[in-house]
Structure 1
Amino acid sequence: MNSSVRRQRKKKFKNLLLLLIAVLLAAPLGLFYSFGKLIQPVDAYSNSTITVEIPSGTSTARIAKLLKENNLIKNDLAFRILSRLSKSDGKMQAGKYALRNDMDAKAIIQALVEGDVTHDTVKFTIPEGFEFVQIVNRLESNGLIDRDKFLQLANYGDFNYKFLENIPKGENRLEGFLFPDTYQVARDATEEEILKKMLDRFNQVFQESYYQRAQEMGLSINEVITLASIIEREAKLDKERPLVSSVFHNRIKQNMLLQSCATVQYILGERKENLTLKDIEIDSPYNTYKYQGLPPKPIASPGKPSIEAALYPETTEYLYFVVSKNGEHTFSKTYKEHLKAKNGN
């Protein structure tokens, strides 16, 4: 083989190699370009409005299919990918939406996440630490529910959530699991839709890592939320919640009574500032001055900081705390220190 032939072959190989590199480089760019086109508006020059209803509990895949059926997105798979990339998967809210096909997929996702419904809607807020009965009272006073229907469904309805798997049906069954937040619902929303919206929110907040952590601690989900609800009612400041949690964890380890005023207030049905001797002698499994360990169920709806405090308490030797006039707590290791702090207040 002469040198001329070898040079020609080398040149051919080099050209093929360059072509292969160009194809490999162009492929991701091509995919990116194709994806970009698929999430663009269906019709950028149209301003027609299409009303779409997203039922409560609808998956992202089903939402994408509904939007595609209504000619609001070009491709349902691209919409699902974008919802994952934008961390919006599972955060899109139920309701009736007035959407336009000149909106791109990103704008539609944002509208669904923000709950930007144009249907006749009403907002309601459930504060952290609200008891189930308080939630019912607020919803009823806002004209959103039929009290009897709501109670029947809450106590005996079928709900497919991991955190409710071992919670038996019965009175106050959902105590602690209706997540405290601000909600927007259709004015004609059913009792079931309202309950599912609140349970869906709990499901979003209670991450998979929380289940794993609870298992590591040897606690059931009911026990975690029960402890979190007590922390919620005892601590006003988020920074103190892990410390309050440490006190209760330490007391449980030492077989001490929890002695939480909040659990007795739950029995009484009122938040008395000072409990009497008669109050703390009430014979109830919720009376932590009388019975060791946690009460049988949560006593209120805890927020995320209290749930995390229950799962991740501060490492301390504290066994006591007392609240001061400004709402902060003084923590003590011994009863002698506690009495001193108490008298100082």
Structure 2
Amino acid sequence: MGNNNEEQPSKKEKLMAESRSRMLDREKESTVVKKVVLSIIGVLVILLVILGLVGYRYVTSSLQPLNPSSEEKIQVEVPIGSTTKEIAKILEDKGIIKSAFVFSYYVKTNNAANFLAGYYELKPSMTLNQIIKDLQKGGSATAGEGANKILVQEGLTMEQIAQSVEKSTKYKKEEFLKLVQDETFLTNMQQKYPQLLDSAMSATNVRYRLEGYLFPATYDYDKKMTLEEIVEDMIKKTDEVMKSFYGTIQAQGKTVQEVLTVASLVEKEGVSYDDRTKIANVFYNRVAEDMPLQTDISVLYSLDTHKELVTEKDLEVDSPYNLYQNKGFGPGPFNNPGLESIKATLNPADTSYLYFLADTKTGKVYFAETYDEHLKLKAKYLD
């Protein structure tokens, strides 16, 4: 055999060659991975842009009338106690709006509230603002087109309801106010609706025993109806709404009169349900601390007037309803509260707040635990 003069690579050189090969392989793999990752990111960005555009177009179209050229009238029932989300779902299912989600968001961002139960005739050609206004006005108490309607909005006082009745019926304001103070009529109503009216009838120093007991809604009226029937319809609806709360009221050791009194204050002081639960809690906390509620609502009711600014002299008005001068919740309701305020009163937030102030321009409510903190909030947001 001949001699092989070629030098064989050493073991070290072999290892170095293998290492370089692996490094090259890893670099190739890394390059491939980077390309794959960049491709995926690119696809995701494109998808996000597409989804954003689709979402934008969907929201934009949902803010417009569902069918601008439609003259079809669709009957919609809004049950008592319906939330905004539930109402939105009803409107979507009935073909009045395109998106329940967009409608709910629009209502929230525009601080629209106080939708009333009843039957409505709405069109797919209506704008969201038109639908909202109709829901705030109230629908018919019965299906189909009724005769005249009596509108009782949340927070109206007895005298304001009397004006609404006079506007929509043949009965005068004075006749209405006389009836709601008639002892025979009141006793008859108490016998029919004892759970609702027993505590009202036993209250002292009240201006109107039925203040707070005429539920906010839209009522049908025809010329055959007596004034007694009109008022009883309102009392009956309040009883229907309160039936689901009687057990809770008893369990909490409260009376219907106390709950509706607090709810009437909450109705005027807050807008959102969350704020109302906190405001109710503030009132309960202040009473527990033996502090007067000091709410302007009570002063205005004591003065039997409506004005923007309450003066220092106004605060001195001699009335059992003046909660600057008297501790507690007062003799009875200051107006006729809606369902959300009643719920908030029975389900108050759990806080240590003792003060709150509302910015009437923005609708925001600011809460504080101490008077110093309250003054700082007042200086920052109101003064």
TM-score, normalised relative to structure 2: 0.58
Deviation at 1:117, TM superposition (A): 5.3
| Poorly superposed stretches of 4+, deviation over 4 Å | none
Secondary structure of 1:167's counterpart equals helix
Matches of 1:194 and 1:341 in 2, distance apart? 46
The partner residue of 2:292 within 257, 266, 272 is 257
| Cα deviation digits, residues 23-43 of structure 1 (max 9, x gap) | xxxxxxxxxxxxxxxxxxxxx
Secondary structure of 2:169's counterpart equals coil
For structure 1, the 5+ residue unaligned runs are 1-90, 94-112
Letter in 1 for 2:355: Y
Other-structure match for 2:231: 195
Matches of 1:143 and 1:218 in 2, distance apart? 40
Matches of 1:321 and 1:312 in 2, distance apart? 18
Matches of 1:124 and 1:131 in 2, distance apart? 15
Matches of 2:255 and 2:317 in 1, distance apart? 26
Matches of 1:187 and 1:344 in 2, distance apart? 55
Secondary structure of 2:340's counterpart equals helix
Matches of 1:245 and 1:114 in 2, distance apart? 30
The partner residue of 1:313 within 340, 344, 348 is 348
Secondary structure of 1:301's counterpart equals coil
- Change over 3 Å in CA distance of 1:304–1:144 after alignment to 2: farther
Other-structure match for 2:149: 123
Other-structure match for 1:176: 212
Conserved 8 A contact 1:224-1:311: yes
Percent sequence identity is: 36
- Change over 3 Å in CA distance of 1:189–1:117 after alignment to 2: farther
Conserved 8 A contact 1:266-1:299: yes
Matches of 2:307 and 2:272 in 1, distance apart? 20
Alignment of 1:1-345 (within 5 A): 115-116=142-143, 121-156=147-182, 157=185, 158-159=188-189, 160-161=192-193, 162-168=195-201, 171-208=207-244, 210-324=245-359, 325-345=361-381
Conserved 8 A contact 2:301-2:334: yes
TM-score, normalised relative to structure 1: 0.64
- Change over 3 Å in CA distance of 1:222–1:114 after alignment to 2: closer
Secondary structure of 1:125's counterpart equals strand
Secondary structure of 1:322's counterpart equals strand
Secondary structure of 1:166's counterpart equals helix
Deviation at 1:166, TM superposition (A): 3.0
- Change over 3 Å in CA distance of 1:273–1:148 after alignment to 2: closer
| Cα deviation digits, residues 86-143 of structure 1 (max 9, x gap) | xxxxx999xxxxxxxxxxxxxxxxxxx961356x711121110000000001111223
Secondary structure of 1:262's counterpart equals helix
Letter in 1 for 2:370: T
Deviation at 1:269, TM superposition (A): 2.1
Deviation at 1:232, TM superposition (A): 0.5
Deviation at 1:222, TM superposition (A): 0.5
Matches of 1:198 and 1:283 in 2, distance apart? 31
- Change over 3 Å in CA distance of 1:152–1:143 after alignment to 2: same
| Cα deviation digits, residues 273-313 of structure 1 (max 9, x gap) | 22111011112111111110011010000000101111110
Secondary structure of 2:334's counterpart equals coil
